[in-house]
Structure formats: structure tokens, C-alpha cells
Structure 1
Amino acid sequence: MPRLPRLQRLLVVTLTIVAGTLLIAYWATRQAEWRVLLEAGTAGASQAQLYANSLQTLIDRYRTLPAVLALDSEMRTALAGPMDAETSQRLNRRLERINLATGSSTLELMDKTGLAVAASNWRQPTSYAGHNYGFRPYFQQTRVQGTGRFYGVGVISGIPGYFLSQAVLGEDGEFLGAVVVKLEFPELEQSWSQRAEVILVSDARGIVFIANQPGWRYRMLGQLTANDLAELEANRQYDRQPLTPLTYRNLRELAPGQRLTRIEGPADRKDFLWNSLPLAETGWTLHLLRDTHEFAADARTAGFAVAGAWLALVFAGLLLHQRWRLARERQRSRGELERLVEARTTALRTAQDGLVQAAKLAALGQMSAALAHELNQPLTAQRMHLASLHMLLDRQRIDEAREAVGRLDALLTRMAALTGHLKTYARKTPGGLREAVDLARVVDHALELLVARVRTEEVHVELHLARPARVLGDGIRLEQVLVNLLRNALDAMTGKNERRLTIDLELHGNKWRLAVTDTGGGIAAEDLPQIFDPFFTTKPVGEGLGLGLAVSYAIVHELGGNLSADNTGSGARFSMILPAALETEE
């Protein structure tokens, strides 16, 4: 139950993301479809222009042929005079040769009534010769305008073609007849049929007469009026061809001559991108139809891409939000951790100060017997000197008495120095104290505290001290470090034949290096890595807590220095390195 609100929030967020993704994908797909259609429409217009140019080029190739033949004197003479069989045969053969040379479909010569007196296909059963074509619009145009153009199905051959005609005029400009060239487009339709799109050419009435795919020719793109039907019946333009309407519906206008159209067939319906290009010289219109399925994949890809980008943004937002939450939690945890660390650090510092003081007191306890013996000798000597002083004073030997007083004063000064070092060493100092300290004097004081043990154990001490050795630190704490190091060295040499203690102090760059070397046999290799760990000791039980070196290491590290240990072959060496004090710091 406690997790229910969180699950509800997760469900709401998930549903929102899914719904947003679907809406974005739908919107992006629609926008992509519209953009793809616009781009495809522009490309289709250019493509339609190429098809139109190829058609116009084919027509222009034969446009001047009728005009050239109309100037032929032999044809003009034949039309001006009576036409006999020999003249007709001669013209048939000539038109046959010209048609073969030019590559046109058919050439024919008509008299002024529209009767074909000669034709290039005179050898074929479907020859135009002997048939009257005066009802054809191109002949009627030629009589009135001098030229004629017409596309229609051949009345005799049943083959559709484009007819170009030119008037043949006599010497006085009278109309004698017409020269007609017929163009068929089988090669053009064959090349267009290799294309996947639908290519159509319709006449001024909207009747398709050229198509690159079967089933599209002789389809009506619009409704025919009664006058149109009458004219078609009269000129027999699409003789014996069934004209069926094309059922379609314009869905959307994209641009002039570009529209989205749905064509409904007997079995299914398809959407096409329809480009229309008017051909001004012929009055025809070229149509380019492309199935929209070829663009749908691009639109879906774009929709998926936008949906993917939307999901990426959503997940990036969720990731950033999650990171922000984690950062806020981490900041809060860091604050709590810092407060906890500060409290623990304060407690550890207090504990460390206590350990330092405890270690000093433990050292004092161990040194007390030797110091008591050290102080007992001056006291015995003082009693002897006092007795001698009484005797000298009784005998009025003043000069000798004065010398005895001097010796007593020296003994008292020695005892005062020892007790002063003990009190100073035992004093608890605040952590963090920084002052200029002569490290050589610290060595002197430490040795004075241990002089009794050094003398008793007959330890030979060698000192190589550079003076003054100024460092920035706490003199009492440094003295404690030296006492710990010296005591460890003396402990290590107990029972050894050679007992030599060497203390070296020299300057290396801007750091002082103090080395304490003994002849106690050294430290075991397996103990070296943990020699400074708290509570680690190699002494017998009851002779040490293992805190001396750990406390010494902490003190040196706190003062910005370093304390290390190694073996010299005959013993151990402890090296303490401290930064030298600058003059401004002093």
C-alpha cells in the first residue's frame, strides 16, 4: 500500500509518454507526407516536362516535312491537271521512297476534295489511296488555314496517329490539295512503358489517346457534351473505340497542375500524385501519375524519426530530472556526512590528544626510575659538598668555601634542568600550534631526558647536527617524537654487543632531514609496512601499547612532514623530514 502512489505516478507518466509519442508520430507523419508530396510534386513537374519535350521533339522532327513536299513541282503539276493511273503510280512510289527515308509512318497526297490520290502505303491492304478524307478536321483546317493538325484513329488501318497537313497551292494561289504526314508513337509508348509511373496524353476534350500502360487509353477524364459527341461521330476521331470514363476524386490541391487524386477501379482504389502539364502548341495535356505508396515509406520513416527524437528528448529529460534528484540527495547526504565527519574529526582529535598525552605519561613513568637515580647522585654529592663547606667555614677557609658553593650551584642547575624538562614534556599542549623551533635544540632536550638510560646502558651516541635547524611546528610535540624514536632505538639495542646511536640532522633543499640510526639488528621485512599502525608492536606483552610510533607519525604528518623507517644492515633507521621555516614565518 505505501508504494501505491508511486506506482500510480509511474503509470501516469508512462501513459503520458506513450500518448505523446503517438500524437507526435501521427503529426510528424502527416507533416512529412505533406512535405514529401510537395517535393515529389515539384520533381514530377520537371519529369513531366522531360516527357513533354520528348513528345514535342518527335513532332517537330516532321513538322516541316509536309511544307517541303507541298512545294514539290511534280505534285503540284499532278494535282493541277487530270490524274491518270500512271501519274498516280509514280507519285505512290515517290511518296514510298520519301517516307522510308524520313522515317515517318505514312505520307499521302489529297486533291482538293479530300480524295487520297497517292499514298506511301499503296502496297498494303490498308492503303489510304482511293479513300476520301474530306471529313477529317485536319483537311478542313488545311483548306481554310493552309495547315492542319489532328490526332485520330485511322479509318482504314485502325491505327491511331497524329496527322500533319500542308496545303498545295497553284500558280495563282488556288487550293489544289494537301500533303499529309501521319506520325505514330509506338516507340515512344514503348520507352514510356518501361517507367513505373503512369504517363498519359489527353486531347482538348480530356480523352486519353496515348498511355504507357494498358487499360488507360481512350479513358475520358471529364464529361463530354452533346456537341462533343456529335463532332466525334462526324470526324470519326476515335473510330470504333469504346470511350469509358475514368472515375476519380481530387483529394487535395498541392500546387497549380499538382494534386492528390484517388482513382477508384472495379476491384480497388489507389491514391496518385497527379501532375498535369498543358502542351500549348498541340492543345494536349500530358499527365504524370505516381502511386503515393512510394512516398508513404519516406513519410513513415520521418514520423518514426521524429517519434524517436521525441522519445530521446523525453528520456533525456527524465535522465536529467533523475540526475537532479540524485544530485540533490547527494548534496543533502554530503552535508549530513560533512557534519558527521566534522563531529567525528573533533572526537578523533580529542582522542588523539589524549593518546599523545597518555603516551607521554607512559614514557615519563618509564623514565622516572632512571631520573630518580640521576637526581639521587647530585643530592648525595650536595650533602658531601655541604659537609665540606661547613668544615671550610669553621676553619675560615673562605676561598675554598666559595669554590664549594660554585660546585653546589652547578649541581642545583643540573637538577633544575632535568626537572624542568620533565615538567615541559608532561605538559599538554593545544593541537595546531605553529612556531619557529630549532630542531637541534629539540634533539638536545630529548637526549637530556634519556641521558641516565644512555649512561647506564653504556650507549655510544654520535651527533651530527647542523645548527640552527629552523622548522615551523610545536617544540613539545617534536620532543615527544624524538623521545619515542630514541626510546625505541635504546630498546632495540638492549643486550646487543655493539650499542651505537647515531643522530644526523642536515638540510636538503628547503627541508630538514633528521635520521635516528641504531645497531639493534633492524626491523623484520614483514613488519615494515605496518610499523606505524596503531597498537602494532614487536615488544613483549606488557612492555608497550603500540601507540608511540603511530602518535609520532600523526604528529609529523600534521606538521606537514613525513616519518619513515628502513633497515641499514646493522640496525634500523627512522627518518623525519620537515619543511624548513621561512624567515617571514620566523
Structure 2
Amino acid sequence: TRQYDKKQLQPLDTQPLQRFDENSHLMRVNGPDGSANYIWESLPLKAEGWTLHLLRKPQFAFEDQRNAGLAAAGSWLALVFLVLFLTQRWRLARLRQRSRQELERLVEERTQALRTAQDGLVQSAKLAALGQMSAALAHEINQPLTAQRMQLATLRLLLDHGRVDDAYKALTPLDDMLTRMAALTGHLKTFARKSPSGLRERLDLATVVDQSLHLLDARLRDESIGTVLDLTRPAWVRGDAIRLEQVMINLLRNALDAMADKPRKRLEIRLHADQQLWQLTVSDSGGGIAEEHLNSVFDPFFTTKPVGDGLGLGLAVSYAIVHELGGRLIAANRGNGAVFTLTLPIALETPDLC
């Protein structure tokens, strides 16, 4: 009575409609403003000796319907967004796949074009080297031809005089010269042949050195080059014999060109194993490479030779060939000359037996 300004509190006129549990009922309450249905919930507070009553209007059905509608709308929107997201992801994946395929196609085309251009460059450098060696090679072939004509005249005289045994003896040096000429011309044809990139046959690197020296033998003799050979045999590597021979000829010709005007001409070629690599060095007594040029010797079209003596492609092509075979080619100065070091992985398996 003190709380409500001394007014008389009247009990609520209630009528039970439905029981949910012991402390929860659906009640009809008759009040000053008319009757209304309430959810009547009670909570006993035993410590205080009180009972707490809560009356609230029963709007569950409407709220559940509204909540269910909102949930359905939310689920539908989530589904729509998920479909849109997955569709967008699928489109992006298709776009990336097409872009990747297009990029791979372009890379393949560019790679093929680059490989074709590189093969053409290698072949051009090879033919240029043959052209520059042509005078010495022609002399190497013409000299035995002249000797053979003289020996044939001697054979005729011997046969005319019935000296058959002497004629047979005179045939031996003639046969040797023909064999040497056939080997030289045959090797020239092989060297001039266009070899595709990517060849990985098993070969002896020491034999490559031998064949390269054979092609340059006339110049080595004419220029009185002192040659030191220290080769480990066999030196098995994997690669293309013709291209490796081209690398070797480029290195040897550069060494010979560097020593052309030097009083002391000494060429050293050494081949030894270093752990899992073959190390081939070509050194000369040509005065070395200028320090400012050491980092540029393998650049295409870089040359210190006079105009007309070279295009500056030999070392660039050699570097590309060695790199393609998984090796390295470096230049340095040592003593009174330059040294080029070529390294290639050792082919460990044994050679095939025929």
C-alpha cells in the first residue's frame, strides 16, 4: 500500500486457458481496459518469500512465422549469393584456364621461334668458321693432290720398266694420303651439317678435341704453334659432338688469332676430371683479355678484331651451346695469355657394348 500511494490493490480476475508447465500458463485476465490473454509465468523466490510473476502477450505464432519468413528469405538470399559466387568463381577459373592456355601457346611459339633462331645462328657461326678456315683447308687438300700427281707419274715409270714390286711399294704413301684426304673432307661435311638442338648422345670429349685439332692442323703447322696436350681418356659426357666441336674450334681459333703477332706461340689444352665434372681448359700466350672486356666476351656481336675478321658470334654461340648442355664456359687471364675453361657433367654410365 505504501508503494502504490495507499491505493487498494485488487486481485486480478483471471481465467486459466491452457497449462504449459507448473509455472507457466495461458491465462485470460480481466482488467479495467477489458480482458486479454497473457502468458503467465511464475518464479518462486524462496529466500525472500516472494513469487515473481511475468505476464506477456502470446505473439509466438506471429513472431515464429515472421522469423521463419526472415530465415527463409535469408537462406534464399544466401543460396542466391552462393550460386552467384560459385558462378563467378567458375567464370574466373575458365578465364584463367584460357589465359594460361593462351600464355602456354605463346610461350611455346616464342620458344620454338627462339630455338629456330638459335639453331640458325649456330649454323651461321659454324659456316662462318669454315669460311675463315677455307684457305688453310684448301691448302691441306691441294698439297697432297700435287704429291699424288707426282707419285702417279712415278708409278707409270715403274710399271713401264716392269718394276711391279717397287710400284706396289709406291702405292702405300699414295693410299695413306688418299685416306687422310677422305677423312678430312668427310669430317668437313659432317661439321658443316646442321645439327638440331637438344641432342644428348654419349661421347668422348677427348675425341672432340682430336677432331677439332685435325681441322686446324694446317694452321697449327703453318704458324709454328707449340702445342701441349694433356687429355684424360676417355672423358665421357652427354651432348652433341658436332656442336661441342664447334665450341672447341671457336676457342682454338680465338687462341690462334690472339697469338698471330706474338713471337712466342704456345697453346695448352688440358682435360681432367674435377669431382663430378670434366674440366677442359684452352690457354694461350696471346697477351690475355683486357680487364674491361672480360665481362663482355660472351656478348653477341662483341669483338675486338678488325672489321671483316669476325662477327663477334663465336664465343656467344659457344656459351649458348655449353649452357644448353648443362655446363659452364668462363674466360680469365693467366700468365701472359687468356684461358677459357669449359665444364660439363661426367656421364657415369658405362658405354654400350656392340
TM-score (norm 2): 0.75
Task: Note if contact 2:42-2:51 (Cα within 8 Å) is conserved in structure 1.
Answer: no
Verify: 1:542 aligned to 2:328, yes or no: no
CA displacement at 1:366 relative to structure 2: 0.7
Residues 552 and 218 of structure 1: is their aligned pair in 2 closer, same or farther, counting only changes over 3 Å? same
Task: Note if contact 1:535-1:546 (Cα within 8 Å) is conserved in structure 2.
Answer: yes
Verify: 1:509 aligned to 2:275, yes or no: yes
* Map 1:178-327 → 2, pairs under 5 A: 207=1, 209=2, 222-223=9-10, 256-257=42-43, 277=45
Q: Determine the structure 1 residue equivalent to 2:105.
A: 339
Give the alignment partner of residue 254 of structure 2, picking from 488, 497, 508: 488
Question: In 2, distance between residues paired with 1:320 and 1:526?
Answer: 60
Question: In 2, distance between residues paired with 1:434 and 1:380?
Answer: 41
Question: In 2, distance between residues paired with 1:219 and 1:410?
Answer: 147
Question: In 2, distance between residues paired with 1:541 and 1:468?
Answer: 40
CA displacement at 1:569 relative to structure 2: 3.3
Q: Determine the structure 2 residue equivalent to 1:572.
A: 338
CA displacement at 1:217 relative to structure 2: 7.9
Give deviations 1:69-104, integer Å, cap 9, x for gaps: xxxxxxxxxxxxxxxxxxxxxxxxxxxxxxxxxxxx
CA displacement at 1:253 relative to structure 2: 7.3
Question: In 2, distance between residues paired with 1:461 and 1:477?
Answer: 23
Give the alignment partner of residue 407 of structure 1, picking from 173, 185, 203: 173
Verify: 1:439 aligned to 2:225, yes or no: no
Q: Determine the structure 1 residue equivalent to 2:219.
A: 453
CA displacement at 1:337 relative to structure 2: 1.2
Stretches of structure 1 that go unaligned for 5 or more consecutive residues are 1-206, 210-215, 226-251, 258-275, 288-316
* Map 1:74-153 → 2, pairs under 5 A: none
Residues 566 and 285 of structure 1: is their aligned pair in 2 closer, same or farther, counting only changes over 3 Å? same
Question: In 1, distance between residues paired with 2:233 and 2:252?
Answer: 20
The one-letter amino acid paired with 1:426 is A
Report sequence identity in percent. 65
Residues 539 and 330 of structure 1: is their aligned pair in 2 closer, same or farther, counting only changes over 3 Å? farther
Task: Note if contact 1:537-1:544 (Cα within 8 Å) is conserved in structure 2.
Answer: yes
The one-letter amino acid paired with 1:433 is L
The one-letter amino acid paired with 2:42 is P
The one-letter amino acid paired with 2:124 is A
Give the alignment partner of residue 144 of structure 2, picking from 370, 378, 392: 378
The one-letter amino acid paired with 2:317 is V
The one-letter amino acid paired with 1:365 is G
Residues 572 and 221 of structure 1: is their aligned pair in 2 closer, same or farther, counting only changes over 3 Å? farther
CA displacement at 1:432 relative to structure 2: 2.2
Secondary structure, aligned partner of 2:340: strand
Task: Note if contact 1:278-1:286 (Cα within 8 Å) is conserved in structure 2.
Answer: no
Q: Determine the structure 1 residue equivalent to 2:328.
A: 562
CA displacement at 1:443 relative to structure 2: 0.6
Task: Note if contact 1:499-1:518 (Cα within 8 Å) is conserved in structure 2.
Answer: yes
Greater shift after overlay, 379-388 or 454-463? 379-388
Q: Determine the structure 2 residue equivalent to 1:523.
A: 289
Secondary structure, aligned partner of 2:213: helix
Residues 219 and 517 of structure 1: is their aligned pair in 2 closer, same or farther, counting only changes over 3 Å? farther
Secondary structure, aligned partner of 2:305: coil
Q: Determine the structure 2 residue equivalent to 1:356.
A: 122
CA displacement at 1:332 relative to structure 2: 2.8
* Bigger CA radius of gyration: 1
The one-letter amino acid paired with 1:467 is R
The one-letter amino acid paired with 1:559 is L
Q: Determine the structure 2 residue equivalent to 1:390.
A: 156
Residues 256 and 472 of structure 1: is their aligned pair in 2 closer, same or farther, counting only changes over 3 Å? same
Q: Determine the structure 2 residue equivalent to 1:462.
A: 228
The one-letter amino acid paired with 1:571 is G
Task: Note if contact 1:279-1:286 (Cα within 8 Å) is conserved in structure 2.
Answer: no
Question: In 1, distance between residues paired with 2:6 and 2:334?
Answer: 113
Secondary structure, aligned partner of 2:260: coil
Q: Determine the structure 2 residue equivalent to 1:69.
A: none
The one of the two structures with greater contact order (alpha-carbon pairs below 8 A, sep at least 6) is: 2
Secondary structure, aligned partner of 2:291: coil
Question: In 2, distance between residues paired with 1:442 and 1:279?
Answer: 109
Q: Determine the structure 2 residue equivalent to 1:120.
A: none
The one-letter amino acid paired with 1:256 is S
Give the alignment partner of residue 132 of structure 2, picking from 352, 366, 373: 366
TM-score (norm 1): 0.47
* Map 1:166-177 → 2, pairs under 5 A: none
Question: In 1, distance between residues paired with 2:135 and 2:271?
Answer: 30
Secondary structure, aligned partner of 1:411: helix
Question: In 1, distance between residues paired with 2:85 and 2:305?
Answer: 59
CA displacement at 1:383 relative to structure 2: 2.3
Q: Determine the structure 1 residue equivalent to 2:66.
A: none
Residues 256 and 537 of structure 1: is their aligned pair in 2 closer, same or farther, counting only changes over 3 Å? farther
CA displacement at 1:522 relative to structure 2: 2.0
Task: Note if contact 1:553-1:562 (Cα within 8 Å) is conserved in structure 2.
Answer: yes
Question: In 2, distance between residues paired with 1:318 and 1:541?
Answer: 69
Question: In 2, distance between residues paired with 1:256 and 1:524?
Answer: 105
The one-letter amino acid paired with 1:358 is S
Secondary structure, aligned partner of 1:526: helix
Question: In 2, distance between residues paired with 1:566 and 1:327?
Answer: 52
Task: Note if contact 2:237-2:346 (Cα within 8 Å) is conserved in structure 1.
Answer: yes
Give deviations 1:193-238, integer Å, cap 9, x for gaps: xxxxxxxxxxxxxx3x5xxxxxx6856694489xxxxxxxxxxxxx
Give deviations 1:373-396, integer Å, cap 9, x for gaps: 122221222222223333333344
Stretches of structure 2 that go unaligned for 5 or more consecutive residues are 13-37, 54-82
The one-letter amino acid paired with 1:342 is E
